[in-house]
Structure 1
Amino acid sequence: MIEKRRILNETLKWLDLEKTLNASTTLVPGGYHRPVGCASAQRLAVIIPYRDREENLKILLNNLHRVLQKQQAEYAIFVVEQESGTPFNRGLIKNIGYLEAQALCHFDCFTFHDVDLVTESERNTYMCGTLAVHHARRLNTWNYRVLYTFLFGGVLTFNETYFSTINGYSNLYFMWGAEDDDLFERMRKKQLRFVASKYPRYTALNHEREPRHPKEKMKIYANSSQRMDTDGLNSMGRLYQVISVDYKPLYTRIYVSVNQTEIYNQLKRYGISLLNTK
């Protein structure tokens, strides 16, 4: 029998959501939870790349906090929000979340979690081992089919050593898609494996679809393995600026600006020009 927990998909006001999650007693400001009466083996950072998805974020937090607390996890949730004015860059935003979370507190485990995906099983733990874990492998919108073998996106968990070995995500992809496939190429080049969660079924929340630019993505993706050692966690110095860090009741909000010009300069250094790409 396949387990499916009841997804809480009602939209609440922030104050009501904080009350229903009992945030004042279960969470430290910033969305940090430590289980009472037991010591957790790992400290988990959940990193959510975000922009303009408030309703999705509320629903995810309402479900995710409940699941993690039922599992007695020690965790903190970081919502990394890119300011408007530049195209969204999910890979860079995830890298920012990783570095800034580490700067605030030591974490053993990192889960990168899309804002529109909710686990359907309370037994789907976000703890990590030596290998990466792909959680959101079977979505309700795909009739729970695995679309292709090297599918590797949505919700992923890494330990610190693994993620630093692959140099994190590429910073060069704007808009939706391809940064996860690029990440898989990094793992393949380093001969690192991943495991699929035993509870891989997720519900995808409704939202407006983001535009794709497949020709641009293929120009960048074509040399992903060649630039992996110089494009990632170790090349972010001039690519972003932290505008503010806010410790909200349910999460830590890291608000950042992205230097689009510098990213295009890096693309040029790799011999990639996106001019006149349609």
Structure 2
Amino acid sequence: MSDAILRPRRSVLYMPGANERALEKAKSLPADALILDLEDAVAPDAKADARERVAAAAASGEYGYREVTIRVNAPGTAWHADDLRAAAEAGPDAVVVPKVESAETVREVERALEAAGAPDHTALWAMVETPRAMLDARAVAAAGERLTVLVMGTNDLAKELHAEHVPGRAPLLTGLSLALLAARESGKVILDGVYNDVKNPEGFEAECVQGRQFGFDGKTLIHPSQVEPCNRVFAPSAEQIARSRKIIDAFDEATREGRGVVTVDGRLIENLHVEDARRILALAEALDGRG
């Protein structure tokens, strides 16, 4: 399992690139990753200043264990090319590109990053947020070497579908499932979309639980108050950790003894259960390693 897959991304917080105080505050927030935003959070007349500020923040090395990414403006906008060049020079952990709808867009962005001298460690995160992106998610996910993460843009998807935001997200489930299938087939990380009502912590936590049950690796967030509950929901529970250890121990013992059938608490255990148990323990170990 690659380091890119194992790196915790339970909570991924958008931070407005034009807000210097927000960028400073992010250094103390317990988010696993930050998206320093040059797109939706920045007015057109503030784009250039925000670009310089975000590039300096990403290059500063002052965010500790937090994965630092830069969200550029979408392909086709007046700011996209300059954003990519500045991000490549800053060398963040990743560049987040909105409105990715095709494999060719992934390849174009990768070529632009390489031409601008982006270091090898700077990955590409592709936002999938339109009907076309859902239908072409398989090709998008498999398109590039730098591409490590798919990010759901559920607000834009709902807008494009003319769908309502309702508890349980029934109108979006087909798109969420298509993107998840694409990510898992290609071995990529996938992050759930944002929850808009910051005054509804119960609704937010319910959506975190739904996302975890679906199989998302974490969730994108719009407010610092969402970080801690998100971290809790997407972290392996003590019960999961204990059961995972039990599964691995039982399987290893059966292998040593040459037994073909393994059961834990009355349930048949196969290789797939062992692989999942090892994934859970690896994530727990990565989180413990932060001290």
Q: Normalization by structure 2: what TM-score?
A: 0.26
Structure with a larger share of its residues in helix: 2
Higher relative contact order (CA closer than 8 Å, sequence separation 6+): 1
**Which entry has the higher C-alpha Rg, 1 or 2?**
2
Indicate the structure with greater strand content.
1
